[in-house]
Amino acid sequence: MSTSLPHQPAWKRLLPPVTLGLATVVMLADQATKGWVLATLEHGERVAVTGFFNLVLTYNRGVAFGLLASDYWWKPYLLVGIALLIVGGLLLWLRSQAQLLPRLATGLIVGGAVGNVIDRFRQPGVVDFLDFHLNGYHWPAFNLADCAIVIGVGLLLLDGLFTPASKR
């Protein structure tokens, strides 16, 4: 069931304002924090913030957790293409969603994906800087865009698991 009205502009049916707004906020916050890190730290520099959290400037040339990292000239374009296909698919799916939660979740995912896509064109890779470790275990560095994507996917999963189909 869609809440789209026939007289709405096409862009509002494809990308509801709440989704566009949240995606824009996430992308801007992501780029601002990455800009601050790039201006403050040298590549590989590690600044201890707490006993379990550091700031470190690193570039992820692959996908999640550095998988598929390589220096092939075409790989950033392939990864950008895949990210944009996923974003496009989500936006098409979103047209059928009337509830607020999927719209917010999609805004988080789209904003995060766009933030990371921008890095692939402007930097040697996606800028990662949040570095957590505990008792000898070290989580790969990540960024705000990654956080938004994970939260958005989690919200979509919760919505799919706990929202009755009749309300979606």
Q: What are the catalytic residues? A: 128, 146
SS (H, E, C) 74-135: CHHHHHHHHHHHHHHHHHHHHCCCCCHHHHHHHHHHHHHHHHHHHHHHHCCCEEEEEEEEEC
φ, ψ (nearest 5 deg) of residue 120: -65, -25
45-51: Cβ within 8 A, 24+ apart: 46/131
Tell me the pairing of strands 137-138 and 46-48.
unpaired
What are residue 54's DSSP bridge partners? 48, 131
Which of helix, strand or coil describes residue 138?
A: strand
Token pair listed for 52: 């379990």
